[in-house]
Amino acid sequence: MINFSLEGKVALVTGAAYGIGFAMAQALAEAGARIAFNCRSKEHLEKALADYAALGIQAKGYICDVTREDKVKAMIADIEKELGIIDILVNNAGIIKRIPMIEMSVEDFRQVVDIDLNAPFIVSKAVIPSMIKKGHGKIINICSMMSELGRETVSAYAAAKGGLKMLTRNIASEYGEYNIQCNGIGPGYIATPQTAPLREPQANGSRHPFDSFIISKTPAARWGVPEDLMGPVVFLASDASNFVNGHILYVDGGILAYIGKQPS
C-alpha cells in the first residue's frame, strides 16, 4: 500500500512564515508531521504562529538566521530536544533581487547566494548526522525554473538556484546509502507577495507585461498558487518516494515543456 502518511515525523521548513513555505508546512502538518519553522524576526514569528494556530497546527517557531552556522546548530539542537530528530527538512528560505547584472553590487550578489545556496548547505549539513543515525531522512530543496533557465535581472538568483540543483544531486549521491533521499521542487511562477510586483495592473488597467508573458508561456494559462506545491512536498517527504533521489520535480504548469505559441 502506498504510504503518504507523515504521522510521528518531525519536519523543519525554513522560511515558512508565509507564502509557499507556509503552504508546504501546512500540507506536511495535515499529513501528520510535527512542524518546526524559522524566520528572522519576532514580528514575523508571532504572526506566523497565530496563522498556524488558526489552522489548528501547533507549529514551533524559532528566530534563526540560516546563513549563520552557529545559529543553525543551536536551532537544530533545540528542535531535537523539543520535538525529536528531524525526519524531513525543507530548505525553502530564499530571496530574489531583480537587478541587471552590471548594475548589481557584489554585496547584493553575495547576499542572494548566501541565503539561497549557502544556507541550504548549512542546514542540510546540520541535520544529516542525526538522519544517518536514525537510518532515514528526507531533504527537499526548493529550487526554481531558474535552476534550468536564465532571464534578465536575476543573475544571482539563477546562479544560486542552479547551484542548489547540483547540491541536491550531490547530497543524494553522497548520502543515499544511508537511506537519505534529497530531492528538489522547482516552482514555476507562483502568486505570492514576492511575485506581486510582476502582477500589478498598469496605470491604464491593463495587465502587467510580465503577467501577460507568463500566462502566454504557461500551458496551464495561469500563475500557480502555493497550494499547488502541497501534494508534491508531501510525496517527496513520505515513504511513497523512497526510491526517488536526486530528482528535481518542476511544478510549473508546463512552462519548461513548452516552446510557446507561434506568433500570429
Q: Which residues contact 143 (CB under 8 A, 6 or more apart)?
A: 161, 164, 165, 168, 184, 185, 186, 248
Output the CA–CA distances (angstroms, integers) from residue 174 to 76, 139, 178, 182, 264, in the order listed: 21, 13, 9, 10, 50
Closest by CA to 48, choosing from 75, 23, 18, 24, is 18
**Can you give the pLDDT at residue 261?**
80
- 195: pLDDT strictly greater than 90: no
- Listed by start position, the domains of the chain span 10-190+224-257
Helix (H) or strand (E) holding 180: strand 180-187
In the chain, count of helices (H) and strands (E)? 8, 7
**Can you give the pLDDT at residue 3?**
92
CATH code that applies to domain 10-190+224-257: 3.40.50.720
Are residues 166 and 116 in contact, defined by beta-carbon separation less than 8 angstroms? no
Q: Compute how many other C-beta atoms are within 10 angstroms of the C-beta atom of residue 152.
A: 8
Tell me what the pLDDT averaged over the chain comes to: 96
Q: What angle do CA 193, 160, 158 make, to 5 degrees?
A: 70
Q: Where does the pLDDT of residue 67 fall: very low under 50, low under 70, confident under 90, or very high at 90 and above?
A: very high
In whole angstroms, give the CA distance from residue 168 to residue 147.
11
> Out of 157, 175, 189, 250, which one is annotated catalytic?
157
- 264: pLDDT strictly greater than 80: no
**Can you give the pLDDT at residue 262?**
76
Q: Where does the pLDDT of residue 160 fall: very low under 50, low under 70, confident under 90, or very high at 90 and above?
A: very high
The pLDDT tens digits of the residues spanning 206-253 come to 899 999 999 999 999 999 999 999 999 999 999 999 999 999 999 999
Give the residue carrying C-alpha cell 525543507.
90
175 catalytic per annotation: no
Sign of CA dihedral 138, 144, 146, 148: positive
DSSP one-letter code for 201: P
Average pLDDT over residues 39-44: 93
C-alpha cell read off for 183: 530531492
Q: Which residues contact 247 (CB under 8 A, 6 or more apart)?
A: 183, 184
Which pTM was predicted? 0.96
In this structure, which long-range contacts are made by residues 167-175, counting pairs with CB atoms below 8 Å and at least 24 apart in sequence?
A: 167/117, 167/120, 167/121, 167/124, 167/141, 168/139, 168/141, 168/143, 168/246, 168/248, 169/246, 171/124, 171/128, 171/139, 172/245, 172/246, 173/246, 175/128, 175/131, 175/132, 175/137
In this structure, which long-range contacts are made by residues 205-208, counting pairs with CB atoms below 8 Å and at least 24 apart in sequence?
A: none
Average pLDDT over residues 143-167: 96
Q: Where does the pLDDT of residue 19 fall: very low under 50, low under 70, confident under 90, or very high at 90 and above?
A: very high
Average pLDDT over residues 157-172: 98
**Can you give the pLDDT at residue 115?**
98
Amino acid at 229: L
